Amino acid sequence: MIVSLLRQLTENLSHRFGSRDQLLKIIANTGWLFGDRILRMGVGLVVMIAIARYLGPADFGLLNYALAFVALFTAIGSLGLNEIVTRELIVEPSSAAEILGTAFVLQLISGILASLLIAVAIVCVRDDPIGRSLVILLAPLVIVKSSQAIKAWYESRLESKYVVWVENGVFLIFAVVNLCLILLQAPLQAFAWALMIEGGVAIIGLLAMFAWRGGALVGWRFRLHRAGRLLANSWPLILSGLAIMVYMRIDQIMLGQMIGDEAVGIYTAATRISEVWYFIPVAIVASVYPALMEGNQLGRRYYLKRLQTTCDFMVLLAFAVAVPMTILSSWAVVLLFGPGYHEAGPVLAIHIWASVFVFLGLATHKGFLVENLQRLSLYRTLLGAVINVFLNLVLIPRYGVLGAAVATVCAQALPSLLLDILDSRTRHFWMISIKALCFVRHLLPWVAMWKREAK
Q: How many other CB atoms are found less than 10 A from the CB of residue 387?
A: 20
Confidence of residue 256 (pLDDT cuts 50, 70, 90): confident
Q: Which residue did the predictor score with more confidence, 24 or 131?
A: 131
pLDDT at site 51: 92
Q: Please tell me the predicted confidence (pLDDT) of residue 190.
A: 93
pLDDT for the residue numbered 8 = 45
Confidence at 10, pLDDT banded by 50, 70, 90: very low
Domain ranges of the chain: 2-454
pLDDT per position as a tens digit, 268-304: 889 888 888 887 787 778 777 777 777 666 777 777 8
| Residue 121, pLDDT above cutoff 60 | yes
- Residue 119: name the closest of 153, 164, 45, 69 by CA: 69
**Cα 216 to Cα 83, 97, 322, 329, distances in angstroms:** 22, 8, 45, 49
Smallest CA-to-CA distance from 265 within 66, 40, 37 is with 66
> pLDDT band at residue 231, thresholds of 50, 70 and 90?
confident
Residue 148 has pLDDT above 80, yes or no: no
Q: What is the DSSP letter of 400?
A: T
* Helical segments of 338-426, H only: 344-351, 354-370, 374-399, 401-419
Distance of CA 364 to the CA centre of its chain: 14
What's the whole-number average pLDDT of the chain?
79
Mean pLDDT in residue range 361-376: 79
Minimal CA–CA distance to 126: which of 48, 70, 206, 45? 70
Alpha-carbon distance of 411 to 408, in angstroms, equals 5
- For residue 351, what pLDDT band results from cuts at 50, 70 and 90? very high
